Amino acid sequence: MSLLIRNATVLTVDPADRVIEDGAVYIEDGRIAAVGSSAAVESAHPRAARVVEGAGKVVLPGFVSTHNHVGNTFFRGLAEDVGLGCVTGQYFPMATVATREERLAVGSLTYAELVKSGVTTTFEMEEEADVFAPFVEALGVRSFMGVMTFDADIDAMAKDVYRYDEARREAQLRQAIDFAHEWHGRAGGRIQVAMTPNMTISSSPELLRASREAADRLGLRTSIHVGWGEYEVEVIRRLHGKSPFEYARDWGMLAADTMCAHCYVVGGSDTEVLAASKAAVAHCPLMNAVRGHVAPIVEYRSRGIPVTLGIDNMFADHFEVLRACVSAARVKTGDPTVLQSSEVLRLATMEGAEALGMGAEIGSIEPGKRADLQMLDYRRFGLTPNLDPVRNLVYHAHSKDVELVMVDGNVLVEDFELKTADASRLIDDAGAAAEAAWGRFVAKYGGFMAR
Ligand SMILES: [Zn+2]
């Protein structure tokens, strides 16, 4: 199968950040075979099975969102204004009442929303991550997926009491490891399972150490939330006498294969610990800003710490993440020119790919790479005049402008419509599932917040 996109503006995100006007991309057997001027590419590949007209359109790599919890769309409309209390008061307690079917319904919707937003690779951490694998296979997205393990007593944790349970730990590790045995490398390699203990406070040292051992034994990457709250710092200091970064590092969960989510509460020598670990930061500027936090990513990048972008949870328009990244960095530094558009586009694509060990495969539009890309229609409200296609993208584009999305050369979105799942049904099922789950939550906890 071959496909040619011609007469488009191509944002390559290659090492020279080339922007090709009147450009073309030729795709063969799921990979990018050629990119360049329309005239050159068309004359070299005159017999494409399919031709997509790209006049007025912009082609760029699909976004790599390195931190997601699609199932947390349960909390859309309920957790945005309550601060960090939602972590122990809503997120963890929901895991005690929501069914796997409800989680699947809510998460499937958001997987689809992200694809419609130009996201072609996600890193999903989820209590029931395994439940999504068949849907991910059918949807066609590329996804790292990890069961978000914990061995703390959740209802005690909501009351600031910390105790860890061996039986729960064994069950959680079994779920995570069984998932890896069943799904790692499947769906044409699009699914990669990871070991992902949720966070420091919900993990005993034994859970972190066992997660590291499993990751090494099975060849899996890792992820964990670290540096997300003053409360986390206080609890880890109380329980273990060290910072969350030191605690994660000391038990193997801050390493070169770790996607370290958030990292906005950093003190003492935490930045040195992070830099020495070679872990990458999954920066979630939109979610973090809503919670009143900004990670020091300009400093991180100056110290060689890889910074990538994640949408985290509840939100669904990945273009907002790029804008939030720029705004947050400028508020943090006081410098209105820091983090230029081409840099944030690189964080959203190539830097994410590299941090996930996939820099040779995805993240840019270059010959030989997998055809994971998106095309936006710029002849729409909000994108004219088009004097600089990269700035227009970063500052003015939205999910609604995404016309075409491909993963491995397969079309997932075409003519602004999802092709690999039924959007109306996803919306209806997710709404019904969330209502049912919250009904049980309120019955158990007496309101929308467990205390
Ligand atoms: Zn998270």
State the distance from the centre of ligand 1 to the C-alpha of 260, rounded, in angstroms.
Answer: 10
Q: How confident is the model at residue 158 (pLDDT cuts 50, 70, 90)?
A: confident
Peptide bond between residue 385 and the one before it cis (omega within 30 degrees of 0): yes
Residue 358 has pLDDT above 90, yes or no: yes
Residue 371: pLDDT band with limits 50, 70, 90? very high
Which pLDDT does position 451 carry in this prediction? 78
* Mean pLDDT of all residues in 24-41: 98
Half-sphere exposure of 383 (CA within 13 A, CB side): 19
3 Cα to the center of ligand 1, angstroms: 37
Q: What are the C-alpha distances in Å from 297 to residues 38, 268, 301, 307?
A: 38, 17, 6, 7
Mean pLDDT value of segment 138-152? 97
The predicted pLDDT at position 435 comes to 98
Asked whether residue 21 carries a pLDDT value surpassing 90, the answer given is: yes
Phi first, then psi, for residue 412 (nearest 5°) are: -100, -35
Mean pLDDT of the chain: 97
Distance 261 CA to ligand 1 centre (A): 6
Query: What band does 125 get if pLDDT is binned at 50, 70 and 90?
Result: very high
> C-alpha angle 314/315/318, rounded to 5°?
150
310 Cα to the center of ligand 1, angstroms: 9
- Mean pLDDT of all residues in 182-203: 98
Confidence check: pLDDT of 433 > 90:
yes
pLDDT for the residue numbered 1: 87
CA of 418 to the centre of ligand 1 (A): 26
Q: Domains, the chain, ranges and CATH?
A: 2-61+369-418 (2.30.40.10), 63-355 (3.20.20.140)
Q: Give yes or no for a contact between 140 and 413, defined as CB atoms under 8 angstroms apart.
A: no
CA of 69 relative to ligand 1 center, distance in Å: 6
User: What pLDDT, on a 0 to 100 scale, did the predictor assign at position 223?
Assistant: 98
Are 396 and 369 spatial neighbours (Cβ–Cβ below 8 Å)?
A: no
Expressed in angstroms and rounded, the spacing between residue 42 Cα and the centre of ligand 1 is 44
- Kindly state the percentage of the chain with pLDDT values over 70: 100
CA of 109 to the centre of ligand 1 (A): 18
Closest CA to 56 of 391, 390, 380, 412: 380
The string of pLDDT tens digits covering residues 252-287 is 999 999 999 999 999 999 999 999 999 999 999 999
CA of 198 to the centre of ligand 1 (A): 8
Residue 363 CA to ligand 1 center (angstroms) comes to 22
Cα(67) to ligand 1 centroid in Å equals 6
Ligand 1 centroid to 228 CA: how many Å?
Answer: 9
Expressed in angstroms and rounded, the spacing between residue 450 Cα and the centre of ligand 1 is 19
Ligand 1 centroid, distance to 148 Cα (angstroms) = 10
Distance 102 CA to ligand 1 centre (A): 19
**Ligand 1 centroid from CA 85, angstroms:** 14
Q: Give one word for 280, left, alpha or beta, with left for phi > 0 and alpha for psi -120 to 50.
A: beta
pLDDT digits (tens, 9 = 90+) for 300-340: 999 999 999 999 999 999 999 999 999 999 999 999 999 99
At residue 155, does pLDDT exceed 90? no
Task: Give the pLDDT band of residue 121 (cuts 50, 70, 90).
Answer: very high
pLDDT more than 90, % of the chain: 96
pLDDT digits (tens, 9 = 90+) for 160-186: 999 999 999 999 999 999 999 999 999
pLDDT band at 385 (very low <50, low <70, confident <90, very high): very high
Measured in angstroms, how far is the CA atom of residue 38 from the centroid of ligand 1? 42
d(CA 369, CA 335): 36
Compute, in angstroms, the gap from residue 9 CA to the centroid of ligand 1: 34
* One-letter amino acid for residue 399 of the chain: S
CA of 89 to the centre of ligand 1 (A): 15
* pLDDT beyond 90 at 72: yes
